[in-house]
């Protein structure tokens, strides 16, 4: 039985959001390794139930810091 891990980068999150790919698919792994602070903030927002479109707006408006 395998162990599914994924390294999460902000650039990859942005690419998926801009191409209308659901973040739930990107974040579906046994272990996530977040490579930057923005990725952590986006994962936190996603886990709180914020819609992908709202997260993309926040990124475009530079609200993540």
Per the CB < 8 A criterion, the answer to whether 9 and 15 are in contact is: no
Q: pTM score, two decimals?
A: 0.91
Structure tokens at 48: 């709180």
Per-residue pLDDT of 3-58, as tens digits, reads 899 999 999 999 999 999 999 999 999 999 999 999 999 999 999 999 999 999 99
- The pLDDT of residue 2 is 80
| DSSP tag of 33 | E
3: left (phi over 0), alpha (psi -120 to 50) or beta: beta
- The pLDDT of residue 26 is 95
Per the CB < 8 A criterion, the answer to whether 6 and 33 are in contact is: yes
Q: Which residue has the higher pLDDT, 30 or 2?
A: 30
């Amino acid at each position: 039985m395998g162990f599914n891990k994924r390294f999460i980068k902000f650039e990859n999150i942005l690419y998926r959001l801009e191409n209308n790919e659901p973040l739930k698919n990107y974040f579906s792994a046994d272990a996530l390794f977040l490579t930057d602070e923005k990725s952590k903030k986006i994962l936190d927002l996603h886990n709180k139930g914020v819609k992908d479109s709202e997260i993309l707006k926040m990124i475009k408006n530079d609200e993540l810091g």
